[in-house]
Amino acid sequence: MTLSFDPGRPDGENRSPLFAVSPDGTPELGRRYEIAARCGVAVRVQKGQLLEVQNTHGTQVCDFWAFCADEIQEYMSMEHVHTSLKSIFPKVGDSLVTNNRRTLMAIIEDTSPGIHDTIIASCDHQRYQQLGCTAYHDNCADNLRLAMIAVGLRAPAIPAPFNLWMNIPVGDDGAIQWVAPVSKPGDRMVFKAELDMIAVMSACPQDLTPVNGVDCDPLELHFLVKAM
């Protein structure tokens, strides 16, 4: 008998639940939280609050998702963002929309050169199998699932992430490459929530391609939630 696909069920386990900010994901405003290397964290951000994500070492990619707090079936959608912005490169001043085409948040600061990715799916168990792994490998899809379970929720889907600082050059012929970030230590992105939302961030565990730097060494990230 073939089991039906459950998007909220992890393929394995890791340390992500240890880093939950609170039982329901509500943070202490202004407190700097860690996203441990290879792990994910979910946090509630109220309308009007700011979420600052920090690239502590400069080389680490953050797979980033956001779900509407009152209806998690509605979430930030890269496909709809592309249509809304007429671009695959969001920048400061841009709004990020949901699969219902509502504005969920806005980018209000980016201290990096602005190179981010919106076209690559999050790494998952199947991706690492394709890359030659025979055992379970930490992955961003499971980091999303485990981070949401840790705050009493269940991922309704694995949306395409907004890959902060991920450098995926797109050639004139449409070909893409996986190369190292161009961000620097301490670079940050700041988002303003336009609706109550649950943000999920994964310190990507990819160590088989250079997306987390030429050393292929996943590292921790940090974030904080603050009032305007």
Strand partners, 187: 55
Question: Is 22 among the domain residues?
Answer: no
Query: Looking at residues 29-48, what average pLDDT do you find?
Result: 98
Question: Is 3 among the domain residues?
Answer: no
Question: Is 25 among the domain residues?
Answer: no
Q: Is 34 helix (H, G, I), strand (E, B) or coil?
A: strand
Question: Is 64 among the domain residues?
Answer: yes
Question: Is 9 among the domain residues?
Answer: no
> 126 CB contacts (<8 Å, ≥6 apart)?
none
pLDDT range class, residue 2, cuts 50, 70, 90 = low
What per-residue confidence (pLDDT) applies to 4? 78
Give tens-digit pLDDT for 69-105: 999 999 999 999 999 999 999 999 999 999 999 999 9
Sheet holding 197-203, edge to edge: 40-45, 197-203, 62-68, 162-164
Q: Strands of 46-148 (E only): list them.
A: 50-55, 62-68, 95-97, 103-110
Expressed as residue numbers, the domain containing 178 is 31-226
Quote the number of domains for the chain. 1
d(CA 107, CA 92): 5
Give tens-digit pLDDT for 189-210: 999 999 999 999 999 999 999 9
Instruction: State pTM to two decimals.
Output: 0.96
Question: Is 19 among the domain residues?
Answer: no
Question: Is 20 among the domain residues?
Answer: no
| pLDDT at residue 170 tops 90 | yes
Question: Is 69 among the domain residues?
Answer: yes
Q: Name the percent of the chain lying above pLDDT 70.
A: 99
